[in-house]
Every structure is written in structure tokens, then in C-alpha cells.
Amino acid sequence: MESSPPRRVLILGGGFAGIYTALGIERMARADDRVEVTLVSRENYFLFTPMLCEVISSQIDTTHAINPIRRMFRRARFVEGEADGIDLQRRIVTVLYPNGQQDAYPYDHLVLAVGATTGFFGMQDVQQHAITAKTLGDAIYLRNWAIELLEMAAVEKDPALRAELLTFVVGGGGFTGVEVAGELNDLVHRALPAYRTIAPSDVRVVLVEMKSRLLPEFNERLATFAMRALRARGVDVRVNTAVAGATDREVRIKDGDAIPTRTLVWTSGVAPHAFVSHCGLPTDGKGWITVDAHFRVPNCAGVWALGDCARVPDGLHPGKFQPALAQHAIREAHQLAANILATMRGEPTRPFRYRTMGQLATLGHFNGIGTLGPLQVSGFAAWAIWRTYYLWRLPRLEKRLRVATDWTVDLLFGRDISQIQTYRASEVQEHDAIPEVAPASGDPKARDRSQTRT
Ligand SMILES: Cc1cc2nc3c(=O)[nH]c(=O)nc-3n(C[C@H](O)[C@H](O)[C@H](O)COP(=O)(O)OP(=O)(O)OC[C@H]3O[C@@H](n4cnc5c(N)ncnc54)[C@H](O)[C@@H]3O)c2cc1C
């Protein structure tokens, strides 16, 4: 009897690379229900990172930049958990569940798509005090924190302390740093009409970049446009210098200057994932998984890797690697899905080749830059293209409608500056509630409370 070919695909990571690999297999193997896809990820949602800065600046609701993974799949199975180890000999992955239990997942094809982490160039103080801009939690925290600082500054009488509260430092002038600086500046300035004791000139957003110019991803002309546009909106852009350290009250700059501030947003470095370094797969010496142009991990049968966690060779530029970008991760995923199915059928796989279509970045309200093939755009046109393109790329109609509605409401009514308080009633109970048992007479609090009652 002919044995059936191995068809269990286990995908680790629910970001662009993992989700689109699962979706690609679902679509391409629609007629073959013997193909089983399981995706394991730490969160039960897919984060659309290009819109993360819009969450920070309160332009869209916190849940509109994410999609529940279970709603994205038709057949693939989703498991919320954290991959903890791989047994390459027995072809199993250990997964830890949120309830503390664990299971072993067997695979015929294993896809590593766990992304990367933020790097701090060995600066532990920066790591300790900075806020990163990578996860949904980061965005919610940063938005809340900025609003909290406005509330504190609104009642602060000491001018030096007030200046400290109203100074925001962003470390790193790449893609994310520029978008964060632009959006944070926008959030704070657009909130100010509601804070009558704070003047626009009291607020300072500082963007610090080590290299001689911003945005190495773009050409000189667009990078200069971005720098001028940010400066025109009051952002203090400092190039040729770097963040050298941080405490909870200041950021030290390389030239010796110290900026008093309560906020350092760190967007500068990327570092390999710790799971990748201890799971026993071959890495390039720096901790990135090495793969060939077909996404195969060498000497590990049935193991594939893609996206930000892997060094995927750039087929069009020998010696170079694919950049850590969502648009690349999506195309890689499409090719990997085809390669896995080809392997199951005993057909040849194809190497990945992809040329970046273009890039778009927002600089805050109504402003942006971008390249679309040979075309360069800046200003309102780039901003409008950014919105149209990313709205179209956002998965699921429901979320597109929600984001489009958020944008419209934002244009008409301005930013929502309510903080998302997450304390529970039980936490304030002792402070707020009148005790159910009457306090002993003589207790001074007894008088106060009885007065409150009447
Ligand atoms: C703020 C921001 C804005 C960006 N804007 C753009 C943009 O405009 N255009 C663009 O092209 N790119 C952009 N990027 C880059 C893009 O987001 C990344 O290149 C892309 O997310 C990489 O996809 P990935 O699937 O490899 O990794 P990720 O998206 O990071 O996904 C990794 C997933 O793996 C999960 N995971 C990690 N460890 C484990 C484990 N042990 N077990 C199970 N699951 C695990 C994580 O929780 C996560 O869900 C942006 C990035 C950021 C941070």
C-alpha cells in the first residue's frame, strides 16, 4: 500500500510571515483536506504593525490595528501558546500554554516565523527606562503615558518639572522613529486645546539619530523632506549624535548633553529572538536563522524559516538579504506556502526573488513620503496614498470599515484623549467605599463618612 506523504505543517509565530504562510497554504491546498496546518502564537491576534503609530497617536482605536487570528482562518488550527523547544530528531515542538500546561506538537514541516526583538546596543539603562514601539501593549502604554504626562503638566507649578514632563525623546531616526516622532508630536499638539494651562511652545519632541541623516531606507531628497517637515512642526531633529544612556528623569546624549525627560521611546535596534538562539537551529553567528533562497534551514529536514527571524538571501542582489519589512514577509510567505506544497507533491521548489515595490512613511497629520517604483511622492499625496494602500492591505473588511470610520471621526472631532484606565473596582474599593461595618465610635474617619452620607 502506498504510504501517504507527510502533510502536517506547524507554524510558529502569528505575525506577517506566519499568518500569510498559513493563509497561502489554505488557499493553495483548498481541495486537499489531508494538509493540516497548525499555527502557534503568543497572542491570539495578528498585529498590523504599519498602523501601530496610529494607535499611539489615538487616530484609530486600540483594537482596530489587530485581527483575531481565529477569524482569519477557514481550516487552519490556531493555538495560543509559546514555542519553547524543538526536538529536531523526533520532529516535535514543545508549546507552553497560558494556563501553565504544555504539549508536544509533531510536525512534518516546521515553519519558524517568530520575528525579532528590539536591540539596545548593550545599553542596559536604556533598555530599563525606554518604551519600545513594537507591540500593541507598547502602543497602548505610550498613548496612555503621553496623556498622563499632559495631565501632570497641566497642574505642575515648578517650571523645570513641567518642562521635564512635556519633553519626549525618540531614539532612532529610521522608519519607526520618524513615524513615532511625527505621530507623538501630533497627538500632544492636537490634545493641547483641551489643556488650557499648557502652551504649544511648552512641548518638546526630540528625535535623535546617530547617522548624518534620517531614514536610511529612503533617498537623500525624501529624507531631507522628512527632516524639514518634522522641524516645521516643531520636532527638534538631531542627527550625527546618539542616545548614550537614560534614567527615569533624563536621557543622556553622546556629546554630553542631558535632556531632562520622563519619556524615551526607543526604536533603533533589532536583535534576534532568544528562542531562535536556544532552539538548536543553525544561525549566522549573530543569532539569525540561516536559510537558502527556498527558505530551507540547512541540515534540518522539513524545517523552514522566513520573515524577520531569518536571513533570507536576496536573489536579485547576491550577498545581500531581504530587509525586515512586512511587504517582504508577505511575499516570502506566499513563496514558502508554494514550496511546502511542492515538497509534499514531490515537485521542485522555487527560489524567492522579490524587488521592493516601494515604501511609504507618514510624518504625522496630512504629511508623508514615499517611493512607488521610480516615482517619489511627498506631502499630502504621500499621506493619502499611505492611508489608501494600508487600508486596502489591512486584513478583513470589518477592520477596514472600523479604521475608515475612526479616520473620519478623527478628522471631524479631533483626538480622543481619554486614558484607558485598567484598574478594577476592587483596587479602589478601600479608598472610595463607605465601610459596610460601622467603625467604632471615636474613629475620626467615622465622622467624615457619616457626613458624606447625609
Ligand atoms: C511600529 C512598526 C511599524 C512598521 N511599519 C512597517 C511598514 O509600514 N511597512 C513594512 O513593510 N514593514 C513595517 N514594519 C516591519 C514589519 O512589521 C516586520 O517586518 C514584520 O512584522 C515581520 O513579520 P514577522 O512575521 O517576521 O515577525 P512579527 O510580525 O514580529 O511576528 C512574530 C510573531 O511571532 C510571535 N512569537 C514570538 N516568539 C514566539 C514563540 N516562542 N512562540 C510562539 N509565537 C512567538 C510573536 O508574538 C509575533 O506574533 C513595521 C514594524 C514596526 C515595529
CA of 415 to the centre of ligand 1 (A): 27
Mean pLDDT of the chain: 92
Residue 178 near residue 207, CB atoms below 8 Å: yes
Whether the per-residue pLDDT at 450 is higher than 60: the answer is no
In the chain, count H helices and then E strands.
14, 25
CA distances in angstroms from 417 to 50, 188, 196, 201, 390, listed in the order given: 22, 9, 14, 20, 24
Provide the percentage of residues in the chain whose pLDDT is more than 90.
Answer: 82
Per-residue pLDDT tens over the stretch 210-262 = 999 999 989 999 999 999 999 999 999 999 999 999 999 999 999 778 999 99
Give the residues surrounding ligand 1 with Cβ less than 6 Å away.
12-18, 40-43, 49-50, 52-53, 82-83, 113-115, 133-134, 176, 273, 275, 307-309, 324-327, 329
Question: For position 20, what pLDDT does the model report?
Answer: 98
Higher pLDDT, 382 or 355: 382
Region 167-193: mean pLDDT is 95
Q: What pLDDT does residue 454 have?
A: 30
CA of 50 to the centre of ligand 1 (A): 10
8-17 mean pLDDT: 98
Backbone phi, then psi, for 32, in 5-degree steps?
-110, 95
Q: What is the DSSP letter of 250?
A: E
Q: What is the DSSP string of 169-223?
A: EEE--SHHHHHHHHHHHHHHHHHGGG-TT--GGG-EEEEE-SSSSS-TTS-HHHH
Instruction: Look up residue 354 and give its amino acid.
Output: Y
For residue 431, the model assigns a pLDDT of 78
Mutate to test the pocket of ligand 1, among 12, 16, 278 (most ligand atoms within 8 A of CB): 16
pLDDT reported for residue 4: 60
Residue-level pLDDT at 217: 87
pLDDT above 70 coverage of the chain, percent: 95
Rounded to two decimals, the pTM is 0.93
Closest atom of ligand 1 to 84 CA is: 41
In this structure, the strands spanning 258-260 and 310-311 are: unpaired
**Strands (DSSP E) found in 121-187:** 131-132, 167-171
| Interacting residues of 233 by C-beta distance below 8 A, sequence separation 6+ | 182, 185, 186, 189, 364
pLDDT band at 32 (very low <50, low <70, confident <90, very high): confident
Instruction: Place 442 in a pLDDT band, splitting at 50, 70 and 90.
Output: low
pLDDT in tens, 73-110: 999 999 999 999 999 999 999 999 999 999 999 999 99
Q: Give the whole-angstrom CA distance, residue 141 versus residue 380.
A: 29
